[in-house]
Structure 1
Amino acid sequence: MASVKEELILLYEYQTLEKQSKILEASLNNHMALKELGKLKREMSEEKSSIDSKRERFLFLDKELKKVEKKINEFTDEIGQFEERIYGGEVTTIKELNALKDKQELLQDRTKKSEESAIEMMEEIEILSKEIEKSQEIIDTIKKEYSEKRLKTCQELGKIKEGLESIEVRKTKLENTISPELLNIYKRIKKNKPNPVAPVIENSTCGGCMTELSIMIADEVMRSEKIVYCEHCGRILVKQ
């Protein structure tokens, strides 16, 4: 069975492991690379949304362009038919001839406007095509960076997890060595104060609340024959 002095040393070691565990857990949860990975995922998502929107517009324009091209072909055929009627000798009166020419000019005007619309669509389709290609290149670059960073991050987080597991094994071993009574006292104090075990530092000062101890308390700590508490903060005192 361990002496009070030995148990206090083990308890102080247990507290140190808890502090290390807390630091590693914070490092695990707040790892900078996780934020960077999150940022890359957001950038990738934004680019994908942009591509989806551009592709949707691209497909719409492509569909509309085919409709316009079909109209242009129909207009061209009709204009050709009017040409035949106007110059083929079929029309015998000036009135009919002028009416046909008016219809032909109207179709020519519609054809011109349709061709202008088709050109605008083709230009926009070309721009969209280049933008989609550029966005895809950006996504591919982000994917590569994400994969490399994720692999490195997994390795770093793996080491942290290994450290935590090692600490948990050591803590369990200490818990089985330290008396349940002392552990209960430790946990009770911890509910109200961080670091329930405080070393006595120079000038007989409590390392927890940094208050000077009385000579009697300091002397009892040095003897390490029983559990001694700081008369100011109530922490368990151990010899430095």
Structure 2
Amino acid sequence: MRSQIVAGNWKMNKNLEETEALLSELAAKLPDTQAEVIVAPTFVNLSNAVKELDGSIIQVAAQNMHFAASGAYTGEISADMLLNIGVDTVILGHSERRSLFGEDDQLLVQKVETALEKNMRIIFCFGEELEDRKSDNHFAVVERQLKNVLFGLSADKWSKIVLAYEPVWAIGTGETASPEQAQEMHAFIRKTIADAVNSGVAENVTILYGGSVKPANAKDIFSKPDVDGGLIGGASLKSDDFIDIVKAI
């Protein structure tokens, strides 16, 4: 049975004191749940987050990483640096990394390969822009993003992959794909993987929805059979909102 996951991507928010306060609130309020709960604070607060959550079921992920082991890459963080502080999950391919920092499929292939070599779990993000959706090209865009980065992997590597479908037009805009739109795309993703890899991988891979999930819509989105949870942005920065989203699954 595939995992259900609620992951909070904090992006460039929360200083050290604010991070510790939010983590303390989440750890105290988190209800019993069968879902995995993950938070991804900023790089400078990851080590403290790991310590703060020691003994909690809440896991810590990084928002990004470099593909190289070390070297002259000013400002970058390696897989070994993350593992050294107890972080073994990383978000890769987020739409903001693609659009704002020019990360393309070729670069993401290198990052995915490095993470897998280090036995890290990857939350791999992908999704279409608004113009792709309007031109009815959204399925082709999603298939291409998956094919270019992940379809070269052997079936056994997929146990370390979590997918996060994020319609870019619904991130930070207040717009949200309807539960039916989310289900339609998630079902398409699963069928595409079944055709390209095998049906076992397709059935077992966790696919998260990421696009303005809130307490008000989480239950309806999570109720769809091919939606296994969410990658949460702004709502993960408020403990009560994030807890309500966890409860919705």
TM-score (norm 1): 0.19
Q: Report which structure shows greater RCO (CA 8 Å, sep ≥6).
A: 1
**Who wins on radius of gyration, i.e. which is larger?**
1
Q: Which has the higher strand share?
A: 2
Q: Which has the higher helix share?
A: 1
TM-score (norm 2): 0.18
